[in-house]
Amino acid sequence: MPVVHYDSEAVEGEALPPTRRRFTRRGAWISFLLIPPIAVMALFVVYPILSALAYAFYDWTGLRREGFVGLENFRRVLFEPPYAAITWNAFQHNVIVFFVLMVVQNGVGFLLAWCLWRELPGARFHRVAVFLPVVLSTVIIGYMWKLFFHPIFGVVNQLLELVGLGALAQPWLGQSDTALGALILVNAWAWVGFPTLVFLAGLQRIPTEVLEAARMETDSEWTITRRIVWPLVAPSTTVVFILLFIGSFNWFELPYIMVGLDGSPFGSTDVLGLVFYRTAFGNVSAGVQDFGLGSALAVLMFLFIAVFATGWTLYLRKRELDV
Amino acid sequence: MSVAADERHGDRGGRGILSTYGRDGLIQIVLIANSVIMLFPVVIMVFSGFKTNMEIFQAPFRIPDFTDIGNFVTMATQTNFLRYLLNSLLVTGTALLATGILGIMAAYALARYTFAGASFILLFFMSGLMLPLKLAVIPLFILFRDLGILDSYWALIAIYTAMGLPSTVFILTGFIRTLPSELEDAARMDGASEARILWQIMLPLCRPALVIAGIYNLVPIWNDFFFPLVFIQTDALKTLPQGLTTFIGEYSTDYGAMFAGLTLAAAPITLLYIALSRQFINGMTSGAVK
């Protein structure tokens, strides 16, 4: 062992001049490989995100940055009327969206994954079917369902009529108490394939010996699922939960397409993404755009998502290790 | 204790086959019902594209006359649909190409050479995986204005390349690390230059990982609506999802035409998905499945 060590050192010592030359050429080659991708990331990801933080502390007139105002923009979006009421109203809707999707989207996703995991005839087809809406643009999905929810032409009401539930037919997107629910269901329809296939991949990684051993102990699929399967898919759960959390608090495209920039009717579908866009880029009803307030909202959303997502990930990872 | 055990065994013997069939039957019903819920709306969308307002109103679920392609002809000739499609192809194609090239450069350097700061650089790329870039749209808007590329393809290509780079570097670095280095060493012995090794040996070997990374990024880039909404004003530069909002606005009373437009817009990615469903599913869940 020592001999080899001395040997190699000796060789390297002898070959110093060529090694040095090769070393610099190697360095140049590595720099050539790394500098372009790092530059793209620095210019279009890191710099904008850091600037977003800075912009929130300035006063803005249109696209022009004025004086430094400290935490004033934050104070206004959080505590000053009329911004405060709008912000908190939207935040509440994001919270509702998150919790309902957690149950509907991830819950149904797990159930479907469990069913697909049995590999019964036709499972391949069902797997492709459930994932189809995931690859479609939210714009297509949003418009499609907006037309389906049309009070007169829409198939939702026509279907209710057809099965004798015509009394339930209503302008789903036009009333405050059904609009948000309708949006959430459309989101669940569109995205349920994602948690389904992530859970399925998790289920397929459970070793068969573990399941066989469990089946020797009990006949109850419920017990096996709850005690053995659920803890073993914990890594999938972590990913699915965190991505849903980030998605729910960034929600923008679907409400924008289906109910418009104002979260109509009467702000009942307003969410932070819409408020942010309206504040930053203006809209028809309130033409003014304010990059300062917009940046403050972006920073608050970013911090909220980052802090909770990180904390929750750590908690869920710990849970993965515990089992 | 023994009673319970007996009961359990009795249970197993007594309803074994029946309960298995019953359970599998129930699972099939759940799966079939779900597939109907998934596909029925899409089918109705396609059907409605072949109908007039009157037909949609009177017989929404009837199978249409598929030779009645008037709505599709209107969409293809009276609107900028083909232009939007071309823009989407151009922007997505260029961004994916740039992501692939820059991604493999970074991944190769990080996976094959040891140097000070390598793990920090990898971490730097990884940090881009979780950051919601949407929230940095105001600085991006100002940056693109200063660069003079606002309202041009370049704004979209730049942001999509940056968006796709972290996942591409992540997937490719992981993949290259699993490859044995004998081939490269052999080529090096034969006097091949480093650039040649990367181009002629690594690139072909990385093809499966490039496909996964490509699909992982293709879907969000192709479908993106937010960045064109902010960066693009000129109608002739709009991408497909953004263009949809324009022609839905123009045809807002012609339901058949709107459904035809949605069907046409959904067609390219749907057909690609049906042809490559396995790669799509693997690719799109690859970030979430370790």
pLDDT over 70 at B131, yes or no: yes
Chain B residues in contact with A189 (beta carbon < 8 A): 37-38, 41
Chain A residues in contact with B258 (beta carbon < 8 A): 143, 147
Q: Are residues B11 and B125 in the same domain?
A: no
Domain extents in chain A: 1-45, 74-322
Q: Are residues B111 and B194 in the same domain?
A: yes
Enumerate the β-bridge partners of residue A60: A65
Q: Are residues B85 and B229 in the same domain?
A: yes
Is there a contact between A189 and B161 if contact means CB atoms under 8 Å apart? no
How many whole angstroms separate alpha carbon A64 and alpha carbon B213? Answer: 39
pLDDT over 60 at A16, yes or no: no
User: How do residues B30-71 score in pLDDT, each as one tens digit?
Assistant: 999 999 999 999 999 999 999 988 888 888 888 998 888 889
Number of domains in chain B: 2
Whether ipTM tops 0.90, in short, is no
pLDDT over 70 at B146, yes or no: yes
User: CA B14 → CA A94, A219, A272, B26, B27, distances in Å?
Assistant: 51, 13, 57, 19, 21
Residue B117, min C-alpha distance to chain A (Å): 12
Helix (H) or strand (E) holding A75: helix A72-79
Is there a contact between B31 and A37 if contact means CB atoms under 8 Å apart? no
Which residue type sits at B89? L
User: Mean pLDDT over all residues of chain A?
Assistant: 87
Query: What local confidence, expressed as pLDDT, does residue A11 receive?
Result: 40
Is there a contact between A34 and B106 if contact means CB atoms under 8 Å apart? yes
Chain B residues in contact with A252 (beta carbon < 8 A): 134, 226
Q: Are residues B47 and B87 in the same domain?
A: no
Which is more confident, B288 or B173? Answer: B173
pLDDT band at B77 (very low <50, low <70, confident <90, very high): confident
Chain A residues in contact with B31 (beta carbon < 8 A): 112, 115-116, 120, 122-123, 126
> Does residue B265 belong to any structural domain of this protein?
no
Is there a contact between B8 and A219 if contact means CB atoms under 8 Å apart? yes
Q: Which two tokens stand for residue A49?
A: 């995100």
Smallest CA–CA distance from A190 into chain B, residue? B38
Q: What torsion do the CA atoms of B4, B8, B11, B13 make, to the nearest 10 degrees? A: -130
Name the 3-class secondary structure at B252. coil
Enumerate the β-bridge partners of residue A58: A68
> Does residue B203 belong to any structural domain of this protein?
yes
Average pLDDT of the segment spanning A115-122: 92
Query: What local confidence, expressed as pLDDT, does residue B286 receive?
Result: 79
pLDDT over 90 at B289, yes or no: no
pLDDT band at A313 (very low <50, low <70, confident <90, very high): confident
Chain A residues in contact with B138 (beta carbon < 8 A): 52, 55, 280, 291, 294-295, 298
Query: What local confidence, expressed as pLDDT, does residue A290 receive?
Result: 86
Q: Is B117 left (phi over 0), alpha (psi -120 to 50) or beta?
A: left
B11 lies in which domain range?
A: 2-58
Residue A234 CA neighbour count, 13 Å, CB half: 16
Q: Are residues B239 and B202 in the same domain?
A: yes
Query: What local confidence, expressed as pLDDT, does residue B290 receive?
Result: 57
Is there a contact between B136 and A51 if contact means CB atoms under 8 Å apart? yes
Q: What torsion do the CA atoms of A147, A152, A156, A158 make, to the nearest 10 degrees? A: -140
pLDDT over 60 at B4, yes or no: no
pLDDT over 50 at B2, yes or no: no
Is there a contact between A301 and B135 if contact means CB atoms under 8 Å apart? yes
Task: Tell me the longest C-alpha to C-alpha distance in chain B.
Answer: 82
Chain B residues in contact with A123 (beta carbon < 8 A): 31
Is there a contact between B165 and A37 if contact means CB atoms under 8 Å apart? yes
Burial of B33 (0-12, 13-18, 19+ CB in 10 A): exposed
Q: Are residues B157 and B228 in the same domain?
A: yes
Which is more confident, B75 or A57? Answer: A57
Give the residue from A107, A109, A144, A274 showing the smallest Cα distance to B134. A274
> Does residue B219 belong to any structural domain of this protein?
yes
User: How do residues A57-66 score in pLDDT, each as one tens digit?
Assistant: 998 887 788 8
User: How do residues A153-191 score in pLDDT, each as one tens digit?
Assistant: 889 999 998 898 888 889 999 999 999 999 999 999 999
> Does residue B89 belong to any structural domain of this protein?
yes
Q: Which of A41, A133, A140 sits opposite B265 (nearest CB)?
A: A140
Q: Which two tokens stand for residue A206?
A: 């459970």
Q: Which of B35, B270, B288 sits opposite A239 (nearest CB)?
A: B288
pLDDT over 70 at A283, yes or no: no
Give the residue from A245, A268, A273 showing the smallest Cα distance to A180. A268
Q: Are residues B114 and B189 in the same domain?
A: yes
Which residue type sits at B236? A
How many whole angstroms separate alpha carbon A28 and alpha carbon B194? Answer: 11
Q: Which of B12, B198, B273 sits opposite A135 (nearest CB)?
A: B273
Q: Are residues B220 and B97 in the same domain?
A: yes
pLDDT over 90 at A89, yes or no: yes
Q: Could you confirm whether domain A74-322 is CATH 1.10.3720.10?
A: yes
CATH number for the domain including B231? 1.10.3720.10
How many whole angstroms separate alpha carbon B185 and alpha carbon B192? Answer: 10
DSSP annotation of A68: E
Residues belonging to chain A: 323
Query: What local confidence, expressed as pLDDT, does residue A1 receive?
Result: 33
Q: Which of A41, A198, A302 sits opposite B128 (nearest CB)?
A: A41
Residue A170, min C-alpha distance to chain B (Å): 16
pLDDT over 60 at A6, yes or no: no
Is there a contact between B105 and A33 if contact means CB atoms under 8 Å apart? yes
Chain A residues in contact with B245 (beta carbon < 8 A): 139, 257
Contact (CB, 8 A) for B125 and B165 = yes
Chain B residues in contact with A104 (beta carbon < 8 A): none
For chain A positions 225-284, those within 8 Å of chain B (CB to CB) are 235-236, 239-240, 243, 246, 250, 252-253, 256-257, 273, 276, 280-281
Smallest CA–CA distance from A189 into chain B, residue? B38
How many whole angstroms separate alpha carbon B240 and alpha carbon B99? Answer: 21
Average pLDDT of the segment spanning A194-201: 95
Query: What local confidence, expressed as pLDDT, does residue B6 receive?
Result: 40
Q: Are residues B93 and B233 in the same domain?
A: yes
Cβ within 8 Å of residue B224, ≥6 positions away: B160, B239, B241
Is there a contact between B284 and A140 if contact means CB atoms under 8 Å apart? no
3-class SS shares of chain A: helix, strand, coil, % to 5: 75, 5, 20
For chain A positions 153-212, those within 8 Å of chain B (CB to CB) are 153, 155, 158, 162, 189, 193-194, 197-198, 201-202
Phi then psi for residue B151, to 5 deg, are 60, 45
A119 interface with B at CB cutoff 8 Å: no
